[in-house]
Each structure stands twice: as structure tokens, then as C-alpha cells.
Amino acid sequence: MRSAGTVAELVQRQWGDHRPGLRYEDIVLSHHQVASGAAARAALLADLLPAGSEPHLGVLLDNTPEFSLWLSAAALAGAAVAGINPTRRGAELARDILHTECRVLITERAHLPLLDGLELPGVRVLVTDTEAYAGLLAPYAGAEPGDAVLGRPGPGTRMLLYFTSGSTGAPKAAVCTQGRLAAAGQSLVDHFGVRREDVHYICMPMFHGNAVIADWAPALAGGAAVALRRRFSASGFLADVRAHGATYFTYVGRAVQYLLATPERPDDREHPLRTGFGTEAGAVDAARFRERFGVRLTEGYGSSEGGAAIQRTPDTPAGAIGRASDRDDLAVVDPSSGRERVAAVFGEGGKLLNGAAAIGELVNRGRTPFEGYWRNEEADAARVRGGWYWTGDLFFRDADGFLYFAGRTEDRLRVDSENLAAAVIENILARWTDAAAVAVYAVPDPVAGDQVMAALALRDGVRFDPAAFAAFLRDQPDLGTKMAPRFVRIVRAMPVTATNKVHRAGLRLAGFWSGAAVWCRDPEGRYVPFGEEQLAALTAEFEEHGRAELLSSDAGRA
């Protein structure tokens, strides 16, 4: 079958296919029913959108069938879906809807309280689980693909406006066209050998690019079915996989750690799952996942905006992501000068010996498929500078050209004049068997630069043993002299964003004192409790060196 140039073509291919195409709880829709439902919604949308308005609709839903149906409907109609994050609140939520110029907002009764009191001029709100919504759709039940379009869909037609997280400012809405989304789906079909009998389990939030680009799109391109989970649940994961016959899933952030933290069972390998694809699981957790569940995880990299991609090959070393894709000219450069960084040098146990000289920002010096941000020229200019696409991610490259992820640019630490990457330290700490989740981040040093702080979420029933943790650190051959955490905070659960990424901003804000268990490494390398007395002494040290402004007066005392 030839590759499709648009998502609309992929949806049209579902017409007349009566195999199961969408699964959700006890609901099973055929591929034809999905296409038919999408055609009805596309016709409704064409009538609802005011003449001359941008063909954009907002979707404020959990992972329900309506989300998938409206993605397909938008493709048929030549419209774009803006995925609205339900963890946003008040003015920020209104800003996301209005910034993307959505004249129609699709939501459900569970999310209506989020809209209370918001001023959304010119926005028509449709509530999917109501009789009024069913009545609106009823006249369009006989619609067919192509009956009503806002503009003939082509490869350059906008398909997605999805918000990317950032450390500062309002989220930016990245543009993804039908051509790019269809190509991304087909690429993953080819890479993973997606079959028509496969079932793609979508448990990551669909307002985020990962679920749509890496899970929904390859299922659509390969003629596979999708199974939806309203929200990710570690405890419900295997039950869903078995019930739906799922063979493929995607993950981001700490999802894999949560799955590994569930109680082990003798039937953990009794399931149809074949592979998982995602980012930030880490080599240690990926190995544990395969040993326990018998499923190979493939770590990939592709910037959310589509500006750079790394492909994993069979000869990729442990810990590496892979090499640059055929389309890209990737380099690791010094962000300040643009000069290419030297190749990584490894010592005993895989210790990175020259991190300060090898770690830099990943850039694409070739032609980039980045399609820009919606109404944000300043962000476009920051992302593409000097003809290069700047990913905002830290990497290092070995002598054979394999690339290793080292964190985000904002996750860099400077300790005693040495540059460190949080992800490198996290990968080492993840080996500690008592830890269910690990996060490393910078806290200010009272004299200059940063200190390393680690947040640890422990496995059920485990208490923090400071002596055992210090002994573990001493046994790690690749832990550099500046990498051992000066501070350790024990958390009940790792704070995460709606996309299961660690909420580092909140951790940094809490600073040195959390009102709970915080430990500090003494000059002998022992971890001792860090309480009010120690905090007062540290505060005085900051004041002595004129750096008191770096401390929040009420950090972490909530």
C-alpha cells in the first residue's frame, strides 16, 4: 500500500473496514464506525465554524473515544486540533484556548468546572456526554468523508497545535501539518513493523504530542486498532493490555518507573505486549522492564517540534539513544559559541571523563521540518538561529557518532566550576534498588554556582538508609567527584506534570527545606539529617556571601 500524503487519506482508508478499530472500556468501534463518526463530526464542524475564522478547534478531553474521533474529523475537514491541557487553570487555561483561536471547544461534563468563570468570547462549547451534543450530531449521521470540508486537506494543512512545556513564559503551540503527521506515522510503521492486527495502547495524555504522533498516528497509518485509557494508571496497565490485546504502547517521563514500582506477580509476563516506545526511561529501568515483563523498550528521541530526530540501530551501545536520522545533520555544540564539542571519553565502568568538554546542546545544521509556533515569532527566532535548529536538549557524542541524552539545557548544573548534566547523575542513582523514582536538579551554592540535590521516591515499605545510600554511591565507578548529591530529599511520590515528566520547577522552588525528610552530605561523605538548625546556618552563609536573594523565604514550608 502506498504511503499517504495526508492524515485525511488515512482516515478515508478506514471506510468499509469492519475490523475492530477503537477500544475503550467496554466499547468497541470498527474502523468504519470511526471513519463514519469522524465524517459526521467534520460536517458538524464545517457548519459551526464562523466564516473567515481560523479552522481551529480545542479539545479539552481525557483519552476518550471522542478525542480520537475529533482528531479524525479535523483531518477530514482540513481543520487543526489544539489539545488543551486539563491541568491548566483559570486565566492560563483561557489563554491557551484563545491564543490558538479556537472557535469551537470540545469538552465533557467532568471538565466543565474548569470553565466556570472564564471569559471565552466567540467560543462555542460542545459537551460530548450530553443529550444536546447527541442532538447536534444526529442530522449528520449519514455524512461521508469529503462531504464537508473547510478547505481541501493537503500535506501542508495544519493538523495539530500542541503546547510544548517550557521553563519560562506561557506554553508555545507548535504547528504540525497533515503531511508531517502522516509521515511520522508511516516512519514508525516501518521502524516497528506495525501490523493490521496490532493494537496500540494509548495511556499517555492525548493533548500531548507523544500520544498522537507516536501512538495514534502509526496505528492509523498501519491499519491497526487503538485502545484508549482515560488516564494513565500503573496498577491498571497490565489488565488493560490483556483485555484489549495491546501489542504496543508509548511512554514519557516517569511512567516506566511507576510500572516497575507495582508489586511483582508471577504472571507479569503473561500478556500480548510486544514493544514500548518512548523517552526518559533510562537504561537501568529499561533493562528492569524487559527482565520483569519480557518487553523491549525502545528509547527514541524526536524534539516535540519535529526539528531533529535520532534513530536507534541494532549496534547502538547501552545508554546511547542512537545516531542522527538520515534527514538530519546533528551536532553537539557549545551553546555560547556554536563550536562543536569534542567526542566523549569513557573510563572504567562507563564513567564520562570529559563531561565539561563533551556535553553541549544538540542542533540540527541541516534542513529542518520544524513548522513553527502559532503566532509566536519570538519563539520561532529562538528555536532557529543562524540557520540551525536548536533543540534545547543536552547531549554528548562518542567517537563512533552515537548520541547520549544528558538532560535539558535548564537542567545543567555548575558545581565547583564543572558543568554537569542532571540526566547523567539520574541514570547512576537509578541503579539504587531502594529507589522507585529519582530526580536530580540544581540548588544554589552559598558561594558560587550550584549544588547537586536529589529527590528520591522510595519503593513501598522501604525506609531511607543514609549509610546504605552513601555506600552505594562509593561503589559507582562512573560517579564523578562532583556528582554525589550534597542534599537528598525523600518524597512520598515524585511530583510530575500531566505528561508524567518530573515537575522540576516545583522541586527547585522548595529548595533545601521541604518540611519532611531532607539529608545533607557531610565532609566525610555521610548523610545526616538537615533540620531547622542546619537551614539557619546555611542561610547565614548565603547572607555572608551576598547571595541571600537566591533563597526563598518560605520555600517548601507549605
Q: Do 168 and 64 share a structural domain? A: yes
Please state the length of the chain.
558
Q: Do 353 and 489 share a structural domain? A: no
CA distance 318 to 169: 36
CA distance 278 to 442: 25
Q: Is residue 226 part of a domain?
A: no
Predicted local confidence at residue 554, as pLDDT: 36
Q: Do 478 and 368 share a structural domain? A: no
Closest CA to 292 of 314, 276, 316, 277: 276
Q: Do 170 and 68 share a structural domain? A: yes
Q: Is residue 443 part of a domain?
A: yes
Closest CA to 393 of 351, 437, 362, 356: 362
Helix residue ranges, H only, 144-299: 178-192, 209-211, 217-222, 237-244, 255-260, 283-293
Q: Is residue 491 part of a domain?
A: yes
Please state the φ and ψ torsions of residue 33, each to the nearest 5 degrees.
-65, -35
Indicate which CATH number applies to the domain containing 107: 3.40.50.980
Q: In the structure grid, which three cell numbers stand for residue 186, read together?
A: 508511516
Show Cβ contacts of residue 540 under 8 Å, excluding neighbours closer than 6 positions: none
Q: In the structure grid, which three cell numbers stand for residue 458, read together?
A: 522510595
Predicted local confidence at residue 11, as pLDDT: 97
Q: Is residue 138 part of a domain?
A: yes
Q: Is residue 204 part of a domain?
A: no
Indicate which CATH number applies to the domain containing 363: 2.30.38.10
User: 390, 411, 432 — which closes off a domain?
Assistant: 411
Predicted local confidence at residue 350, as pLDDT: 79
Q: Do 532 and 508 share a structural domain? A: yes
Q: Are strands 27-30 and 248-251 parallel, antiparallel or unpaired?
A: unpaired
CA distance 289 to 295: 7
Helix residue ranges, H only, 100-236: 112-115, 131-137, 178-192, 209-211, 217-222
Helix axes 65-77, 31-48, angle to 10 degrees: 60
User: 411, 437, 470 — which closes off a domain?
Assistant: 411
Q: Structural domain tally of the chain?
A: 3
Predicted local confidence at residue 355, as pLDDT: 82
Q: Do 149 and 11 share a structural domain? A: yes
Q: Do 515 and 396 share a structural domain? A: no
User: 411, 437, 454 — which closes off a domain?
Assistant: 411
DSSP 156-175: TSEEEEEEEP-SSSSPEEEE
Q: In the structure grid, which three cell numbers stand for residue 547, read together?
A: 547571595
Q: Is residue 399 part of a domain?
A: yes
Domain that holds residue 86: 7-16+31-177
Predicted local confidence at residue 558, as pLDDT: 29
Burial group, residue 434, by CB count within 10 angstroms (0-12, 13-18, 19+): middle
CA distance 518 to 515: 8
Q: Do 428 and 502 share a structural domain? A: yes
Q: Do 153 and 12 share a structural domain? A: yes
Indicate which CATH number applies to the domain containing 506: 3.30.300.30
pTM, 2 dp: 0.80
- In tens digits, what is the pLDDT along the chain, a chain of 558 residues? 567 899 999 999 999 999 999 999 999 999 999 999 999 999 999 999 999 999 999 999 999 999 999 999 999 999 999 999 998 888 889 999 999 999 999 999 999 999 999 999 999 999 999 999 999 999 999 999 877 778 889 999 999 999 986 544 578 999 999 999 999 999 999 999 999 999 999 999 999 889 999 999 999 999 999 999 999 999 999 999 999 999 999 998 778 988 998 999 999 999 999 999 998 777 788 889 999 999 999 988 887 788 898 988 889 998 888 998 777 899 999 988 999 999 999 988 777 888 889 989 999 999 888 999 999 999 999 899 999 999 988 899 999 999 988 777 777 787 876 668 788 899 899 999 999 999 999 888 887 778 999 999 999 999 999 999 999 999 988 888 788 999 999 998 898 887 778 888 788 878 777 566 899 999 889 999 998 888 888 888 878 766 666 675 333 332
Q: Do 151 and 11 share a structural domain? A: yes
Q: Is residue 251 part of a domain?
A: no
Q: Do 54 and 126 share a structural domain? A: yes
Show Cβ contacts of residue 411 under 8 Å, excluding neighbours closer than 6 positions: 394, 421, 422, 423, 440, 441, 442, 504
CA distance 322 to 301: 9
CA distance 404 to 299: 11
Q: How many angstroms from the chain centroid is the CA of residue 342?
A: 29
Q: Is residue 281 part of a domain?
A: no
What is the DSSP secondary structure assignment for residue 178, as one 8-state letter? H
Beta strands in 43-153 (DSSP E): 56-60, 80-83, 104-107, 124-127
Q: Do 431 and 384 share a structural domain? A: no
Predicted local confidence at residue 417, as pLDDT: 60
